[in-house]
Structure 1
Amino acid sequence: MSRLQAGKQTPTHADLAAWVAAAARPDALPELKGRLTGPETTYRAWRRQVAAGHRARQEQATAETDATQVIRGVETARIPGLFQTPDYARHTFAAAAEFHRTARDVDDPVRARMRRQQALDEPDKTFRFLGPAPLVMPRLPSPSRLPSRRPACSPGRCGVPGRSAGRGGR
């Protein structure tokens, strides 16, 4: 299986030209080139933004949250940033920096993410998040870790009007 088939590499314009020739659909080449350019441009912009660290992206998310009344999210792999504890966010940023080979700034983006959680206390905002059951109702950690598990979903925040969590799948 090729790297293209496995999704490990994006096709080049030459790959696209070869594919449309093999499929006898040369008319499809301009559309395919356009579809290739969009994600590449988005990815390059994101890489430039996080090259110096994740703080700026977190500040952008805070500004977007401040300007939004209804916030919806779907998360399949981790607890959404709005509901993360500082320890969980710290681990998330450290892992992301290592995986993407970006600056390993952790404290500044964690502080920015925690500031964003202030929006959870604003009565005019509505939050709707969907994710698999283990994210919505995770297994309980050891008793020593329970108090700091998910303060953003403490009884004073979850179960009140404008706050809901659901699970996808079964």
Structure 2
Amino acid sequence: MQACLATWFGVGHLRPAPGTWASALAIVMGLILHRLGHFPALALATAATFALGLWAVAGWTAGMAEKDRSEIVVDEVAGQWLALCFPSAGFWLMGLPADRFPWPGWVAAFVFFRLFDIWKPWLVGRADRRADAAGVMLDDFWAGLFAGTATMIAAGISHGLM
């Protein structure tokens, strides 16, 4: 069960770039969650996936020298959903119906998340250098937080100029 969750039901075995595949799938799943229960459903799923990811990665990699294996992508799912929570919350607070999630919001969340996850600036890189399961999950948490913030800044700039 832990391996299944850690690889997000086998998505982590897709090549090349399993993290990008997982992020793309997370966008699709996140849009479905948003449609079914708006921001609260996405936020709850994000928190649950992060917690389950800590458990799954710690259990599956116990005894392994390399904790941050390329097939582990539950961290990308949780981080991508965190980035997606920012525009989802904005739409929810604006009173948009759950069946609306304009494309710039989810595209920006995806692009910024992949950027911060690959670039690994500041806290993202610091968490990535940890040699434990928490580090595996935390680097994507920070990348998701930075990506969500960047998405909202980009939205503010875009809407301020329009």
Shorter-chain TM range is under 0.3
- Normalised TM-score (structure 1): 0.26
Q: Larger % of helix: which?
A: 2
**TM-score, normalised via structure 2 length:** 0.27
Larger Rg over CA atoms: 1
Structure (1/2) with the larger strand percentage: 1
